[in-house]
Amino acid sequence: MTDTTPFSPEKCSRLIVKIGSALLVDPAGAVRRDWLEGVVADVAARVRAGQQVAIVSSGAIALGARRLGLPKGGRASLEDAQAAAATGQIALSHCWAELLAAEGLTAAQMLVTLDDLEDRRRYLNAAATLDRLLALGVVPILNENDSVATAEIRFGDNDRLAARVAQAAGAQGVILLSDIDGLYTANPGVDPTATLIPQVGAVDARIMAMADAGSASGMGSGGMISKLEAARIAQSAGCRLAIVSGKVDRPLSRYAETARGTVFEAPRAATARKAWLAGRLTARGRLVVDAGAAQALADGRSLLAPGVKGVEGRFARGDVIEIVTAEGVLLARGLSEYDAADATRIAGLRKDAASEALGYAPRSAMVHRDHMVQL
């Protein structure tokens, strides 16, 4: 069931605000301080009204690149990006702490990696830290730890990070401040007939087809595709997400007045474990299933061995795996009841044959419905 009441971010007890590099840093690589002071004033007003706010802030690489004189905004190589991030993050954190302190607020810094939120135990630790900081009235400033992230193991954009932070924090809303004021039917920079879509339900193939992967500024790492992927993650946690223009002064106040943007509605939240599974960006392997198994999953049933036609990857029992069709369509994500070797032995087999192949009585399912989330 989807909540159809209008989205009012100021009414969320917990709100996550994401700010991209193109908004926070000017083309010369300096902080747009006047604009940022307006954002901080908006945040301070929300906190004084009793709201808990966390901020996901980009900008470290852009700031560090300027200080180090690195080409291409610090993105010429992974090593340059890591050095720029390490240099720029301290300047970025200082700026946030100084401006929030001027409003009587305390800032905290949290740098996270993809693994911090993909590993269940580390995810719970991060969630506990966020919860305590917000309960104390602190404004956490989060960013991906780009100084140690690699090309293979990283979020790659702060849109998806913001959605995962919202999940961990138990937030009710996410605002992505962007250089565009929402999702359009086509790229408005190319198609003059493109129109703004004020409200979106499920992020399906039709919605994804409207996205443009580019970042208009050249400074950021995301685009509309990353924002739609963030919306999917937020929706899995029952959290609404809005794409809003940040190219105005006091953007949070402006959005409260005009409601101009795109809101992605959310159904009722899944259980905490299933929301974590749905929001994951990585998996250890895949089970390829036939049409009968796909229908069983759609009916809310567990995945049984006879419906599995292929096993991919190297995984252990309890690892997160994806369940896909023969065409590669992602159906679900869950915790495997078998390691990859045993899963391969019993794929396609019924109970008696599976017992003989394994040498022991097989478990009730390859992936149990209680440890699975449909996507």
Which residues make up each annotated binding site for ATP?
A: 18, 178-179, 221-227
Report angle CA 203, 207, 213 to the nearest 5 degrees. 105
Quote the CA–CA distance of 97 and 106 in Å, as a whole number: 7
Quote the CA–CA distance of 170 and 216 in Å, as a whole number: 31
Q: With contact defined as beta carbons under 8 Å apart, do 12 and 175 qualify?
A: no
Amino acid at 135: A
SS3 for 105?
Answer: coil
Which of 123, 116, 143 has the alpha carbon at shortest distance from 54? 143
Which residues contribute to the annotated binding site? 18, 58, 146, 158, 178-179, 221-227
> Which whole-number Å values give the CA distances from 60 to 75, 91, 248, 260, 333, in the listed order?
12, 8, 22, 29, 33
Give the pair of three-digit tokens for residue 68. 């180090």
Q: How many whole angstroms from its chain centre is CA 11?
A: 22
Quote the CA–CA distance of 185 and 171 in Å, as a whole number: 28
Quote the CA–CA distance of 63 and 74 in Å, as a whole number: 9
Which of 167, 251, 172, 139 has the alpha carbon at shortest distance from 12? 172
Which residues contribute to the annotated binding site for substrate? 58, 146, 158
Quote the CA–CA distance of 14 and 261 in Å, as a whole number: 20
